[in-house]
Amino acid sequence: MQSIELKYGLNPNQRPARISLPSGELPVKVLCGRPGYINFLDALNGWQLVRELREATGLPAAASFKHVSPAGAAVGVELAPELYKGFFLKDEPLSPLAAAYARARGADRMSSFGDFVALSDVCDLSTARLIAREVSDGVIAPGYAPEALEILANKRKGAYNIVEIDPDYRPHAADIRTVFGITFEQGRNDAKIDATLLQNVVTRAKDIPDSAARDLIVAMIALKYTQSNSVVYAEHGQTIGVGAGQQSRIHCTRLAGDKADQFHLRLHPKALNLPFVDGLGRPERDNCVDGYLSNSPEIFEGWRAFFLERPEPIGPDERREWLARFNGVSLASDAFFPFGDNVERARLSGVHYIAQPGGSIRDAHVIAACDRYGIAMAFTGLRLFHH
């Protein structure tokens, strides 16, 4: 049996900890650092997500994982100028893989703090330079260009976790785990997610353009590796709001919708031009933006020292007008919507395209809610629970 000893388990008191295979070689190598149990859970879930995104779209893919759910996931779509500014990027050309990583990390920068990065392709210099600037626990990829590996190996004073995975590895068909000393076994979720799942459009609005189909595929593949219940909003080849691990479907939709709104508000001119003091670090700027967008005077007071002057807030009317600009958002749910309230909340965040399994006794109620707002919704017939 080949194994890798881990730093510790879920918590520092849970030792010893390891990953292993009963036979054959492990498909992963630790090139730098000493990953822990959660690091490898994030790494292996993230790798599966980006590999499937790559296969489904033909584009390089990246994911930012935290606590076994993606904070963000994306494919390599070119960034608009406002995203460069909103993601705190320098004015530099990005490779397609670097663009995917920038989008994945920028989807929810607060949640991505201390993430584990997953890359579908060999990590290039452009991507490594971006990763080096962020607070992160590690990265998994099918390989590393020599100059990229050199940069990453110097991160965190040489303690950054760098994992290489064999891209040809395919796991056993059975998924086995032990809980409380009892063994659970099930078939692996090898369902293929592609545009064929979007053929059963059940609403009066039927048109799902290619760009929206791509975004729905991004959202559905992200759901496949997000703790359930879960809902994902996506736009321009990336997630913009992930609602994970909620017991109520509407709470997933609200949480993810609030994150999608926050993503869009980060692009408001007032947010893009906040008067930060010189030399302020990226994590501090992220927290400042989050506090500023909360419109809470109490939260702002805690960050006053990081601004050259008190910034002008984005007023309620300005917020509504700004968010109304974004009306081509896609949304996917890992299980059916039991009520139309999910549609009512989703449309407030610009959702115009929905993919969900269907199968609720209130499907007609949900379809009617979509028809009121001209939303196109496909029933995929595929549930995507992940625990």
Give Cβ neighbours of residue 12 (< 8 Å, ≥ 6 apart).
Answer: none
Does 387 participate in catalysis according to the annotation? Answer: yes
First-to-last alpha carbon distance for the chain, in angstroms, is 27
Does 365 participate in catalysis according to the annotation? Answer: no
Are 245 and 227 within 8 A, CB to CB? yes
Query: Which residue in the list 67, 85, 270, 365 is annotated as catalytic?
Result: 67
As a whole number of angstroms, the distance between CA 190 and CA 62 comes to 20
CA nearest neighbour of 384 among 189, 247, 218: 189
CA 356, 359, 362 angle in degrees (round to 5)? 100
Place of tokens 């994590």: 283
Give Cβ neighbours of residue 296 (< 8 Å, ≥ 6 apart).
Answer: none
Query: Which residue in the list 39, 45, 66, 236 is annotated as catalytic?
Result: 66
CA nearest neighbour of 323 among 375, 370, 271, 249: 271
Are 118 and 70 within 8 A, CB to CB? no
Does 45 participate in catalysis according to the annotation? Answer: no
Are 155 and 130 within 8 A, CB to CB? no
**Cis peptide bond prior to 81, omega within 30° of 0:** no
Query: Which residue in the list 39, 45, 229, 287 is annotated as catalytic?
Result: 229
Does 200 participate in catalysis according to the annotation? Answer: no
350 pairs with which residues across the strands?
none
**Cis peptide bond prior to 229, omega within 30° of 0:** yes
Give Cβ neighbours of residue 316 (< 8 Å, ≥ 6 apart).
Answer: none
As a whole number of angstroms, the distance between CA 29 and CA 23 comes to 16
Give Cβ neighbours of residue 64 (< 8 Å, ≥ 6 apart).
Answer: 70, 71, 72, 73, 104, 105, 107, 108, 111, 112, 115, 116, 117
28 pairs with which residues across the strands?
165
Write out the catalytic residue numbers: 66-67, 229, 387
